[in-house]
Structure 1
Amino acid sequence: MTTQDKDAPLRDDIRMLGRLLGDTIREQQGEATFDLIERIRQTSVRFRRDEDHSAKRELEGLLDALSREQTIQVVRGFSYFSHLANIAEDQHHIRRSRYHLRMRSAPRQGSLARAMDDALERGLAPSDLAGFFDTAMISPVLTAHPTEVQRRSILNAQMRIARQLDDRDRIELTPEEMSLSEEEIRRAVLTLWQTRMLRPVRPSVVDEVSMGLSYFDITFLRQLPKLYATIEEQLSERDPSLANVELPAFMKIGSWIGGDRDGNPFVTADVLRQTLELQAGVVLDYYLDEVLTLSTRLSLADGLVSVSDAVRELAERSSDASRQRVDEPYRRAMTGIYERLAATYHALLGVPPQRTVRLDAEPYPGPAALLEDLDIIHRSLVANGSATLARGKLRLLRRAVKIFGFHLAPVDLRQNSDVHERVVAELLAVAGREADYLALDEDARVALLLDEIATPRPLVSPHVKYAEQTESELAIFRAARESHLRFGPEAIANFIISKTDSVSDLLELALLMKEAGILRPHENALDGNIIPLFETIEDLANAPRIMDALFSLPQYMQLLDGARGRTQEVMLGYSDSNKDGGFMTSGWSLYKAEIGLVELFARHDVRLRLFHGRGGSVGRGGGPSYQAITAQPGGAVQGQIRLTEQGEVIAAKYDNPEVGFRNLEVIVAATMEATLLSGNAPAPREEFLDTMQTLSDDAFAAYRGLVYETEGFEKYFWESTVISEISELNIGSRPASRKKGQRIEDLRAIPWVFSWAQCRLMLPGWYGFGTAARKFVEAHPEDGLERLRQMNREWSFFAALLSNMDMVLAKTDLAIASRYAGLVKDAALREQIFGRIQAEWHETVNMLLAIMEQEELLDGNPLLKRSIRNRFPYLDPLNHVQVELLRRHREKPEDERLRLGIHISINGTAAGLRNSG
């Protein structure tokens, strides 16, 4: 089948969706508006595909002449087309995956089947594969960030469209059914057009929590148990003796939403409690629905099937006394389980569930007790010839209880080390223990903190009124302890310290945990992981040294041994290291830090679990998850990994259940490969490591020279991008900057990257590489280029860096970026800085193509190349309109309609780029 044939259904879907959108615009806004949008579309396609410069001038003339109201309708039209194109592409991925499965094609890279087969081919036994899961711990962690520009209402309408496209693929519809399907899509498109694209006010943290929880309803609660079942089936196929293996709960979904306090003053103890209650409500509602369904399905009659005594006992506990069901013990047992669950819901949340039989049943003390009752049903079915029934919905529910418990997802708590430091300093001073903690050197701090952690005596007095920040932090830790008692220790299992640069940063957190009863020295108990986050280039370099000093403290190692299974988690920050040192140096610093940590942890006999703080975009450490995990240094994964899923990437990965399943599968497959097969991969050659250091040094100098050392760069950035407008946009509860002002150092990494993506420069994802590569080749005229090509062919880390850069550069557009540069009022500054950026872009593209041995960008990724070719003619007009809107808005900042148009254009551009922040 040719590529053309493969893509025909995708083109058909895009044409159909575009036609329905056009019809909607014509009906709702009139023929003139439709004709205007269509003319802009055709002119943009001509310019993009044929490089017709007269079309470029015509396009700019059309857009510049738009009235304010016309502009908003044009922006809305092209924004919604981007969203519809995304739906069609997702469906095409599902379509192609199903085709390969039907054709029994060889397993694809990133699939579990491929990972298992590769392991077996390299000499591992099926038991080794099963053994991997015994100690594995894999956790994607959802975070709320201001690049998540979607509203739930918009996503709901998009899901209706996606379901219709999926049905049309799976079912051969009659002409009448096809017509009805198109009518349903038309209704959903009309709903989109008539739904406000943006929020009228900035969302609260609880709003963000609710948004995050929707992905559990859509994907995680159902697809994650299915993934476990799939793995078990695949193990059984490779070794029948593994047929009855049930995997431990090795993969769980985590969350920062409602617990990440770093720079977000709106995350309070009350918000944390609300978050945990909302999560518990979602998972308990799910269990209640599933148990109710099972009670209708398990209508097996006594006398027709054998029943265990334990099931009979469960049935007798039920209040179901109906004579019609007296001989249906399984159904009555499930009713009893439902009643206990309803009582549990009431006990934990203080309100009854919507459907309540009775609330006087005994609540479950914890998820293990619920699981035991479900296991009783399972064992009886299996023992009495009904194993097929046990392997259906009951199997998935039992698995869900193991994964999600009564808390749904562990909420990580994160705070900046500076805040912990100030809080501890006040506690010590008020208690009369140390008047000026902040003046102590590091050794004195460590000694003092160890003394305080070792004693059960509290520092905090209930009779003292502390500073507002101290009171807030203490309240958070108390709420965490309450959650452990209410929902179990897994509800809040991880405590993260941003900007960790010393051992005392970790001990300060330990002391605050002790004050709340989370660390109990007399029991040698620590009910949570103390996790340093190393973010800047300097912090990453110091990470091994700091952890070595920490592991040299017997008191800390005693806690790690007794309470945490001698496993230590370390978080690595991709976003801030990139903003600090640029793409190349960030990637290299992360890699070196991992190597140093692997060696250090092995020396101390501590198991390392890395938490990768990746973003959605390449400029924040994003890119394909499979390549990112398999490109880790040997020994860095060890079967355990956590990684953040941030911003709009959450919707892109998990808003469609099948796409979500595939993304979860990829993470597991990559972790398996990186763990089981990394020992077979040769270490990078010494000359590769030396070359990478040279490249990093030169790229760092180029990046820092532009961003931090060029006079006027901050002014250029704020005037040539949408950063000011993003700061105003109601798309996240967290401020864009840590402090007031325009310093790059204080700006959060997310809006930094997001702004460069909007103006189609993507600077954080490539700047500096061209200069570094050219210098290396010039310094090694005989073999420099060939050395870089060898590194690309033989070293997965370097290949992944180049592949990500290839993707980013393909999404850039200097012609469009030059229009944004035109917003800078100082002509000399504009020409100086944009000229440097333009020269570095050409240098980077030329060097990248030479090293990757490609004629054009994305030659090695035809799927993405096709996607960009399809969607960018519809994305370009949004950028052109956005520039004009910015120009007008900055002249008339009081015009709310202009502000609205800018914000809609930001939404549409983010949708078109997909991984922009």
Structure 2
Amino acid sequence: MASIIYSSGEHPSIADRSAAYANQNIAFLFDLLMDVIRYRLPELEAVIRNESAIPANNPKLLLRFLQARGIWFQLLQIAEEDGGMLRRRTIEVEQGADQVMGTFDWVFSEAAQANISAHDIQTLLNNAKIIPVMTAHPTEAKRVSVLEIHRRIYLLLVELQSSRWTPREHDALVDKVRNEIDLLWLTGELRLEKPTVAQEVAWGLHFFNEALFEQSAELLNKLDFALNQYYPEADFTIPPLFQFGSWIGGDRDGNPFVTNEVTRNTLFHNRRACLYRYKQKLQGLIHNLIIARHNIKIPASFLAVLDQELKCIENGQAIAARNPGELFRQFTVCMSHKLAKTIEASERNSFPECNQYAYYSADELINDLRILETALLESKSAGITKMLVTPLRREAEIFRFRTANLDLRQNSTVITKTLISLWAAINQKEETDRPAETTLEWESWIKEQLDNPLQIDIPAGNLSAEARETFELMQLVVGSREKFDERAFGNFILSMTRTSTDILGVYLIAKFAGLFIKEDGIEYCLLPIVPLFETIEDLRVAPAVMRGLLTIPLIRHSIVKQGGTQEVMLGYSDSNKDGGYLTSNWELSKAQTRLMAVAEDCKIPISFFHGRGGSVSRGGAPAGRAIAAQPAGSVHGQLRVTEQGEVISSKFANRGTALYNLQLLAASVFEHSLKSTTEAELRPRKEHYEALEELSQLSYEAYRLLIEQPGLVDYYASASPVEELALLNIGSRPARRFGASSLSDLRAIPWVFAWTQNRHLIPGWYGFGSALEKFSQAHGQAGRDLLQQLFEQSRVFRLVIDEVEKTLCQVDLLIGKDYSELVTDSSVREQIFSRVQDEYHRTVQHVLAVSGSNLLAERFPRFRRKLGRRLPSINQVGREQVKLVKFFRETNKENQEQQKKLVSLLLSINCIATGLGWTG
């Protein structure tokens, strides 16, 4: 099978036509933006067209210039998204659906040609579990109102593709686009206050309402269609293999605003969202299922069920009388009444009362939809069933009564503090009397408590406030299983996991809170506990930690009862901040390989949850490439991956793009699962392993020399807008976990965000050039030949090279130099910036030598075009930003002029983030 990633069915002429179409749309949108600027602020036009500079004494013009540049980056993204959709459709029309990369047709046509059996495909479908997890990490700079304008512009561009319009109708559509751009101009782009967690929840649900409810069912329809095309003799069963997770309202790691009350309300909001969706869809069924009884033969089993439903509902006779002979419609009206009672209770943040004619669980709704499907099929109405009922049934199976599984996340420090408080309350002693948490005595106490039958009433009132909050969170999980949905909560993610005792501690709190049950004399935990390994050291010890855990009977029983697979989360952000880009990727790859060996030895499968962000340095490589580079056999149909901040809006704001991105994720998982164990690029080779190990160590040493350079923290704080970032209200979460000011405590998102704004982009490339140079020097021509072999034959090395090369295109040493001038200590400034400058040139030289290119990103023409449209404007904004930071820091904070400059400064940050496509 050819890889999604490294081959393409796209004909050059299609690429040229697609680029021409995108350029046409870009010119069209630019002209309309100029119309708006000419009307609103005529003197700005010359500045936007680079015909004049911004006067130093005109803050209003500077403010509007930054706003215009930000709007332009947004319009560029819309035009390119529309162009991408048209390109994929053109390939499908002219070359066939199986030539569109990243689709089910691409994967299963190759699978059929490779003689992969239908049985193997069905086994993969049965085991598959693909879950993108929405997070509200503070990386989204756009408000929902702005996203809604973007969607309307996108839809208007699609409308304008049609040739059916008269000149008058065409001009009216153009006027609508211009008016939407005018609305962008008049809409406040910056948040005046930090969003609350409730607002972040609403922001996340916006994407479900706009695209994901609809397109998730369509995704399975596409899968069904592709399987029928390439395996026409097989009869596949498609389970709800694609679902969603969420951290929004459940992730309390370092976020004091996520309280138990917030989490409880989040569950209700998530529940309401899907219930209202089902209400809307049921109304559609009532409207459309007007099939007269005398036209078809209706199964007797359905007649019996309908008769029972009409007897149970209060106004059953009236329903039958109002829709005489339309039996499917009568049944659907009964369903609508039951759902209405469920919704009424949800509006009160409550649940239906016992014996009420309502749906108490999603299973009951799904069962009714299956009854309706079966009856229609037996009535020889398969087409109508597939069009009207099957999509709703699939939606109900995917979203149930929860929309998304709400994950809980907390860090090991808080868990340990909770356990200490519990120890003191149970033993009626002072917390200072407890064994140190690093001792065997402490570990033994936790294990003894887990082994003992639970007979202790926990005096919650004696716990510290923080411990009581954590303890009551676990109790909230207990109560939610029956009331909301059995999987209303997904997993408990333990960040900063370092030892097996850390994870056992979560199990113990869960046991004390009532999350254990006993069957046939065996206790197990109802809530899956997922360790998150983040730093380089944590990744290295992860296999030993998991080996120790998977030998404990309680853990093994719990895993089996929870589905049979232990999930492990891998942190891309902190491992990168800790060890640099190459070392992070290599250690992540090694950790997965070693964890798979542990899973095989312990006879407990392990699946991986990838904590990726938007930027390259936080794992933000293209989804297909990233999945293709995972170790052979590590995916096996199951993958969870975080979707963060601006990535969510870029992927899921529009329905067509949302469907493509969902399909790309699922198709990439299927492709890796079907063929990774036979791919040469993923086959372990001793010489490749040894070379990558050496390169990683060399890169790590070079990166740590910079990070540990005296004065680096001061340089970072002064030569970037990191402190000013906190004033940009793009998330409820603080920039630091515990309010400290050390580099180690700084979150990875502002770490990346700040290095991006000052155009150093350290996390995405630093250290790689030194590694390549020293490796070549140590091994001579044989080493250079091996590097070339790695480039051609190692998937993980190729991914690193590709993404480093793209990142280097975005580095600007001139702007970086301007930023470095803000560092007052000249020796620190010169030492650190000279290191950065030298490493940059070294990295460019050696990356080009390995890739065989003459120019950076020469191999990525679409990327070069996209960046080329933005870079001059980004650089212009960057130069203004340095001046604004300098002025802001040197001016009295109460100065009115300083406050005006602050708005411009924040707009410049927003603008660059939009231009590059990520914040952190």
Instruction: Please indicate the TM-score interval, normalised by the length of the shorter structure.
Output: over 0.9
Q: 1:210 aligns with which of 195, 202, 206?
A: 202
Q: Which amino acid aligns with 2:577?
A: K
Secondary structure at 1:728's aligned position in 2?
Answer: coil
Cα distance in 2 for partners of 1:359, 1:523 equals: 31
Does structure 1 residue 15 correspond to structure 2 residue 32? Answer: no
Cα distance in 2 for partners of 1:229, 1:333 equals: 25
Paired position in structure 2 for 1:49? none
Paired position in structure 1 for 2:60? 69
Q: 1:196 to 1:134 in 2, by over 3 A?
A: same
Cα distance in 2 for partners of 1:550, 1:751 equals: 34
Paired position in structure 2 for 1:158? 150
Aligned pairs for 1:295-374 (under 5 A) are 295-312=286-303, 313-314=305-306, 316-317=310-311, 319=315, 321=318, 323-350=321-348, 362-374=357-369
The number of residues matched between the two structures is: 890
Q: 1:352 to 1:195 in 2, by over 3 A?
A: farther
Does structure 1 residue 902 correspond to structure 2 residue 908? Answer: no
Paired position in structure 1 for 2:694? 694
Aligned residues of 1:649 and 1:915 also touching (Cα < 8 A): yes
Secondary structure at 1:415's aligned position in 2?
Answer: strand
Paired position in structure 2 for 1:657? 655
Aligned residues of 2:458 and 2:512 also touching (Cα < 8 A): no
Aligned residues of 1:496 and 1:533 also touching (Cα < 8 A): yes
Does structure 1 residue 504 correspond to structure 2 residue 507? Answer: no
- Range 306-315 or range 389-398, more displaced: 306-315
Q: 2:94 aligns with which of 100, 103, 114?
A: 103
- Range 360-369 or range 125-134, more displaced: 360-369
Cα distance in 2 for partners of 1:740, 1:347 equals: 41
Q: 2:601 aligns with which of 593, 603, 612?
A: 603
Does structure 1 residue 489 correspond to structure 2 residue 491? Answer: no
Paired position in structure 1 for 2:274? 283
Paired position in structure 2 for 1:719? 718
How far does the alpha carbon of each residue in 1:438-477 deviate from its partner, in whole angstroms, 9 at most, with x for none?
4154433333222212334355534633211011112211
Q: Which amino acid aligns with 2:25?
A: D
How far does the alpha carbon of each residue in 1:273-298 deviate from its partner, in whole angstroms, 9 at most, with x for none?
11111111110000000000110000
Aligned residues of 1:378 and 1:390 also touching (Cα < 8 A): yes
Paired position in structure 2 for 1:51? none
Does structure 1 residue 33 correspond to structure 2 residue 44? Answer: yes
CA drift at 1:66: 5.0
Paired position in structure 2 for 1:427? 422
Does structure 1 residue 127 correspond to structure 2 residue 138? Answer: no
Paired position in structure 1 for 2:473? 476
- Range 365-374 or range 79-88, more displaced: 365-374
CA drift at 1:501: 0.9
Instruction: Tell me the TM-score normalised to structure 1 length.
Output: 0.94
Q: 1:375 aligns with which of 370, 375, 391?
A: 370
Aligned residues of 2:67 and 2:907 also touching (Cα < 8 A): yes
Identity of aligned residues (%): 33
- Range 415-424 or range 484-493, more displaced: 484-493
Q: Which amino acid aligns with 1:681?
A: E
Q: 1:250 to 1:437 in 2, by over 3 A?
A: farther
CA drift at 1:684: 2.8
Unpaired stretches in structure 1, ≥5 consecutive residues: 44-61
Cα distance in 2 for partners of 1:392, 1:526 equals: 41
Cα distance in 1 for partners of 2:47, 2:435 equals: 64
CA drift at 1:624: 0.6
Paired position in structure 1 for 2:449? 452
Aligned pairs for 1:756-767 (under 5 A) are 756-767=755-766
CA drift at 1:232: 1.0
Q: 1:240 to 1:268 in 2, by over 3 A?
A: same
Cα distance in 2 for partners of 1:552, 1:246 equals: 35
Aligned residues of 1:346 and 1:359 also touching (Cα < 8 A): no
Q: 1:291 to 1:440 in 2, by over 3 A?
A: closer
Q: 2:671 aligns with which of 649, 654, 673?
A: 673
Q: 1:438 to 1:75 in 2, by over 3 A?
A: farther
Cα distance in 2 for partners of 1:690, 1:64 equals: 57
Cα distance in 1 for partners of 2:301, 2:443 equals: 55
Q: Which amino acid aligns with 1:478?
A: Q
Q: Which amino acid aligns with 1:255?
A: S
How far does the alpha carbon of each residue in 1:297-335 deviate from its partner, in whole angstroms, 9 at most, with x for none?
001111112223344343635536264521211111111
Cα distance in 1 for partners of 2:205, 2:614 equals: 19
CA drift at 1:364: 1.3
CA drift at 1:123: 2.9
Aligned residues of 1:94 and 1:658 also touching (Cα < 8 A): yes
Aligned pairs for 1:358-757 (under 5 A) are 362-432=357-427, 436-439=433-436, 441-457=438-454, 459=456, 461-462=458-459, 464-521=461-518, 524-561=523-560, 563-682=561-680, 683-707=683-707, 709-757=708-756
Aligned residues of 1:493 and 1:527 also touching (Cα < 8 A): no
Aligned residues of 2:260 and 2:469 also touching (Cα < 8 A): yes
How far does the alpha carbon of each residue in 1:50-97 deviate from its partner, in whole angstroms, 9 at most, with x for none?
xxxxxxxxxxxx347252211111100111100110000100000101
CA drift at 1:159: 0.7
Secondary structure at 1:142's aligned position in 2?
Answer: strand
Secondary structure at 1:692's aligned position in 2?
Answer: helix
CA drift at 1:520: 2.4
CA drift at 1:242: 3.2
Q: 1:477 to 1:555 in 2, by over 3 A?
A: closer
Secondary structure at 2:766's aligned position in 1?
Answer: coil
Paired position in structure 2 for 1:246? 237
Cα distance in 2 for partners of 1:591, 1:730 equals: 35
Cα distance in 2 for partners of 1:458, 1:808 equals: 57
Q: 1:823 to 1:288 in 2, by over 3 A?
A: same
How far does the alpha carbon of each residue in 1:615-634 deviate from its partner, in whole angstroms, 9 at most, with x for none?
11111111111111111111
Aligned residues of 2:401 and 2:484 also touching (Cα < 8 A): yes
Q: 2:132 aligns with which of 137, 140, 160?
A: 140
Secondary structure at 1:493's aligned position in 2?
Answer: strand
- Range 437-446 or range 624-633, more displaced: 437-446
Secondary structure at 2:374's aligned position in 1?
Answer: helix
Instruction: Tell me the TM-score normalised to structure 2 length.
Output: 0.94
Q: 1:724 to 1:250 in 2, by over 3 A?
A: same
Aligned residues of 2:523 and 2:554 also touching (Cα < 8 A): no
Cα distance in 1 for partners of 2:793, 2:286 equals: 56
Aligned residues of 1:339 and 1:361 also touching (Cα < 8 A): no
Cα distance in 2 for partners of 1:104, 1:352 equals: 54
Cα distance in 2 for partners of 1:351, 1:719 equals: 48
Q: Which amino acid aligns with 1:68?
A: P
Secondary structure at 1:843's aligned position in 2?
Answer: helix
Aligned residues of 2:268 and 2:349 also touching (Cα < 8 A): no
Cα distance in 2 for partners of 1:640, 1:434 equals: 46
Paired position in structure 2 for 1:237? 229
Secondary structure at 2:529's aligned position in 1?
Answer: strand
Aligned residues of 1:215 and 1:654 also touching (Cα < 8 A): yes
CA drift at 1:544: 0.4
RMSD, matched Cα? 2.1
Aligned residues of 2:81 and 2:657 also touching (Cα < 8 A): yes
Q: Which amino acid aligns with 2:201?
A: V
Q: 1:448 to 1:100 in 2, by over 3 A?
A: same
Q: Which amino acid aligns with 1:427?
A: L
Aligned residues of 1:767 and 1:840 also touching (Cα < 8 A): yes
Unpaired stretches in structure 2, ≥5 consecutive residues: 1-12
